[in-house]
């Protein structure tokens, strides 16, 4: 059983690895049964990405759309056995070169020192609501 503090520290390290822009840097943090959910409220192309290959497929989806994609945790909160993250995604338009910034919130699930799931939401209130529905 992990403590809330160690879960938050793990998520901090995950976002530091995301900051490198290298997918191989995050592999050590995600479980083999990792699941990333991008719901219809967050994307015109909602999807569920499973395992390390799913994480790669998610990151590959930015190719040709956004360059230099980075994920930044602006806030982290341990709540109800999960870590809630206020996330800022930055990059440059692949064609225009214009800077792009998107914000969302994620419910991040941790088990035995590994990230087992990430579910994206429009903001912290929506993430907390999803968490309370479980």
Predicted local confidence at residue 26, as pLDDT:
85
For residue 89, the cross-strand partners are 71, 102
Helices (H), 4-72: 4-18, 51-60
Contact 107, 119 (CB under 8 A): yes
| Structural domains of the chain ordered from first start | 4-132 (3.10.450.50)
Residue 80 Rama label (left phi>0; alpha psi -120 to 50; beta): left
25-61 pLDDT, tens digit each? 888 899 999 999 999 988 888 999 999 999 889 888 8
Predicted local confidence at residue 33, as pLDDT:
97
This prediction has a pTM of 0.90
Predicted local confidence at residue 5, as pLDDT:
80
Predicted local confidence at residue 34, as pLDDT:
97
For residue 93, the cross-strand partners are 66
- All residue ranges of the chain with pLDDT < 50 are 1
């Amino acid at each position: 059983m992990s403590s809330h503090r160690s879960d938050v520290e793990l998520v901090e390290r995950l976002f530091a690895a995301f900051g490198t822009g290298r997918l191989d840097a995050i592999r050590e943090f995600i479980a083999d049964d990792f699941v990333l959910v991008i719901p219809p409220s967050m994307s015109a192309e909602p999807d569920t990405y499973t395992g390390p290959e799913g994480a790669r497929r998610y990151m590959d989806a930015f190719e040709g759309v956004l360059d230099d994609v980075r994920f930044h945790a602006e806030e982290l909160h341990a709540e109800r056995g999960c870590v809630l993250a206020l996330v800022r995604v930055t990059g440059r338009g692949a064609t225009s070169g214009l800077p792009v910034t998107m914000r969302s919130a994620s419910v991040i699930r941790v088990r035995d020192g590994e990230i087992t799931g990430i579910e994206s939401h429009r903001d912290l209130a929506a993430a907390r609501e999803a968490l309370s529905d479980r």
